[in-house]
Every structure is written in C-alpha cells, then in structure tokens.
C-alpha cells in the first residue's frame, strides 16, 4: 500500500476535527447552564471560548485545503441586494474580493432589475465564487410611491430567501449589502449559527455602533441610535440565520416597511432576544462596518472628443456613464 501524502493525512485529520466541531455548540448561551454558578460558570465560558478559537483555526486551515475537504464546512449563503448605479460594480468588486477569501460560501446576488446586467454577471463569473444571480425588481406598487421612503432591498432579500428555501438544507444565511465593509472573520463567526446569531456593526447612526448589550453572556438591552419602538433595533449586517432554522419557519419574510425591515423579519422568526447567540467574542469585536460610498457624478463628455478615436479610451468608455450635457 502506498504511503498517504501529507496533504491527504492533514485533510483526514481536519475532516474529523470539523465533524466533531459541528456536533459541538459553539455559541455560549447562559440559558443552557441555568444551574451553573460561580467558578463552574467561568469554566463553562472558558471551554466555550477555547472551542471558538479552535474552530477559527480549523476554518483557516480549511481555506487552504482541497475543495474535497472544504465541502465538510457548513455553507455561508451571502445574500446581496443590489441595483444599477455608478458605484455598483466598484462596490460589488470590493465585496467580491472579500468573499474570494472565505471558504465554502455561496453568493446570491439579487438585482432590482427586470433584465440581466451583463457587467454584473461577467464579474461574478470572474470571481470563481459559487453564485446565483437573481432578478428581483421592486413591486410596482412600491416603486410608484412618491414623497415617502421606498422599501429598497426587500424584494431582493425575500427573493434570496426563497432561493435558499428551494435549494439549501444546511448552513447559514447572511444579508450582506454591497456598500458595507467586511472583515473575513465575521463569516467564520457566523458559520455555526444554530438559530440566530448577532454581532456588532460599526459606523451606524450618530451612536457609531449597533449591537446587543451583553453582560456575562446574557442579553441586557440594545445599543442603537434609532430604536423607534422596534423589538429588534439592529442593523441589517448585524445578524445571521441558520438555514435549518429558516426552513423551520416557512412563513418568515421581510416586510415592505421602510425602517422596520430587520425587526419585522426577526419577529417573523418568533425568536426572543434571550435566545440569540452572541458571537464575535460575546459582541466585543467589530468585524463589519456600515460604510457608505460617496455618490458620484456622471463622467464628462470630454472622452467623446474624436481625437480619442482609435485609442484605449473608446474601450474604457463602454464602462462609463456619460453626462447628457
């Protein structure tokens, strides 16, 4: 019998460790240890923190292993709503470059459009990331509204959830807007979500932060600059949902109600704040930021000058939106 190569042996060991980790709850929830107090409780927390650190190491190794090994990781389904604008491809590029460094991810890009965007499809193909491209236009009844905010991104996210319900059985779902900034560690934090995990989001409202307030592993209250009577005053980028849990609540949807999309969706899952899983070291680390890209003006018509005929500018022009005057 031929000797097994080092990579094969490492793969087998990793597969065994990942299999063990998947059977072990990763998120410390004090409810599970209601009868544990004092020193015993500290031990439980230390064990939990150690498991989380071990899992991060395993996921880092997995990213460098063959695809046959990565398949044992739970899939992270990233749902990204988008719409055509000058900044669309640059922002999708930034997010794509992040996801290219995340193992076992499936990118669901849902565009608010009625026709396919060739530039979008071309970039998605370039990344090499397993992806699904959906056309999910905003319903006309909301698009025609004037003088009031429109529920942007709702049809896109609901469309992504519908696709997951039809094609997925395990893993975790995450709403990742294309204008945010993500540390790849956030995807490993959420990968083993049992029901709903939460984590801080930076640069949100004048508070500069949106997060659950956690003390000794327990939920205390919310810290967010716009509570407005919401049961879950959180940012869209601040939570992830287990696919299995999502499938167990077929009626869960995001409402077409501007400003209340997050709380409406989480409420439809019939989850309680006390049942949430607080990741990112018990919500002490920030791995995602609600950044905003400055709106840009259309490009000058200078590029249309005939003197540029036959030069590279004619090709670059196809990627630009030229001003009308």
The DSSP string of 62-126 is HHTS-HHHHTTSPPEEEEEEE--STTHHHHHHHHHHHHTTSSSEEEEEEES-SS--HHHHHHHHH
- Write down the pLDDT at residue 29: 38
Between CA 108 and CA 56 the distance in angstroms is 24
In percent, the amount of the chain with pLDDT more than 90 equals 61
- Write down the pLDDT at residue 131: 97
> 196 forms bridges with which residues in the sheet?
241
- Write down the pLDDT at residue 292: 81
Average pLDDT over residues 110-135: 96
pLDDT tens-digit map of 53-72: 665 666 566 656 555 556 78
- Write the burial class of residue 44 (CB in 10 Å: 0-12 exposed, 13-18 middle, 19+ buried): middle
DSSP for 211-269 reads EEEEETTEEEEEE-S--TT-SS---GGGEEEEHHHHHT-TT----S-TT-HHHHHHHHT
Cβ atoms of 231 and 267 within 8 Å: the answer is yes
- Write down the pLDDT at residue 10: 54
- Write down the pLDDT at residue 176: 97
Please count the residues of the chain: 325
- Write down the pLDDT at residue 310: 81
CA dihedral 145, 149, 153, 158 (to 10 degrees): -70
Between CA 288 and CA 102 the distance in angstroms is 15
Beta-strand pair 196-198/277-278: parallel
Query: 26 pLDDT exceeds 90?
Result: no
Name the band, by pLDDT with cuts 50, 70 and 90, for residue 22: very low
Does 262 qualify as catalytic in the annotation? yes
Distances (CA, A) of 4 to 1, 45, 61, 254: 9, 38, 19, 50
The predicted model scores a pTM of 0.76
Query: 126 pLDDT exceeds 60?
Result: yes
The tokens describing 21, both together, are: 């980790």
pLDDT tens-digit map of 164-186: 999 999 999 999 999 999 999 99
Between CA 153 and CA 149 the distance in angstroms is 12
Closest CA to 76 of 160, 152, 10, 136: 160
Which of 188, 189, 261, 262 is an active site residue?
A: 262
Phi, psi of 86 (to 5 degrees): -60, -35
- Least confident among 206-210, 276-280, 312-316: 312-316
Between CA 83 and CA 93 the distance in angstroms is 14
Query: 100 pLDDT exceeds 90?
Result: yes
Cβ atoms of 100 and 75 within 8 Å: the answer is no
Average pLDDT over residues 34-48: 51
- In the β-sheet with 196-198, what is the strand arrangement from edge to edge? 131-135, 105-111, 76-82, 172-175, 239-242, 196-198, 277-278
- Write down the pLDDT at residue 30: 35
- Write down the pLDDT at residue 33: 34
For residue 201, give the DSSP letter.
Answer: E
Average pLDDT over residues 9-28: 48
Cβ atoms of 100 and 184 within 8 Å: the answer is no
Average pLDDT over residues 142-159: 92
Contacts of 107 (CB under 8 A, 6+ apart): 78, 80, 96, 99, 124, 127, 129, 130, 131, 132
Cβ atoms of 180 and 291 within 8 Å: the answer is yes
The tokens describing 98, both together, are: 């992040």
């Amino acid at each position: 019998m031929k000797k097994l190569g080092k990579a094969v042996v490492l793969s087998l060991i990793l597969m065994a460790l990942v299999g063990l980790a998947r059977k072990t709850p990763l998120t410390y929830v004090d409810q599970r240890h209601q009868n544990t107090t004092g020193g015993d409780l500290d031990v439980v927390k230390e064990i939990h923190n150690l498991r989380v650190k071990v899992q991060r190491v395993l996921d880092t190794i997995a990213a460098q292993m063959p695809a046959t090994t990565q398949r044992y990781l739970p899939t992270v389904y990233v749902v990204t709503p988008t719409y055509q604008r000058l900044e669309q491809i640059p922002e999708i590029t930034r997010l794509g470059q992040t996801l290219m460094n995340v193992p076992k991810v499936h990118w669901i890009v849902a565009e608010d459009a009625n026709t396919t965007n060739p530039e979008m499809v071309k970039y998605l193909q370039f990344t090499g990331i397993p992806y699904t491209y959906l056309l999910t236009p905003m319903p006309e009844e909301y698009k025609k509204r004037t003088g009031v905010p429109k529920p942007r991104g709702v049809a896109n996210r609901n469309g992504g959830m519908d696709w997951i319900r039809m094609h997925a059985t395990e893993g975790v779902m995450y709403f990742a807007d294309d204008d945010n900034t993500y540390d790849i560690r956030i995807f490993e934090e959420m990968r083993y979500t049992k029901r709903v995990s939460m984590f801080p989001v930076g640069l949100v409202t004048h508070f500069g932060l949106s997060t659950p307030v956690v003390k000794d592993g327990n939920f205390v209250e919310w810290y967010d600059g716009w509570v407005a009577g919401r049961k879950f005053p959180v940012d869209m980028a601040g939570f992830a949902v287990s696919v299995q849990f999502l499938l167990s609540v077929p009626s869960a949807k995001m409402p077409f109600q501007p400003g209340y999309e997050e709380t409406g969706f989480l409420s439809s899952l019939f989850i309680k704040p006390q049942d949430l899983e607080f990741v990112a070291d018990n919500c002490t680390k920030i791995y995602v930021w609600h950044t905003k890209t400055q709106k840009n003006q259309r490009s000058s018509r200078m590029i249309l000058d005939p003197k540029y005929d036959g030069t590279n500018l004619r090709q670059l022009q196809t990627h630009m939106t030229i001003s009308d005057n």
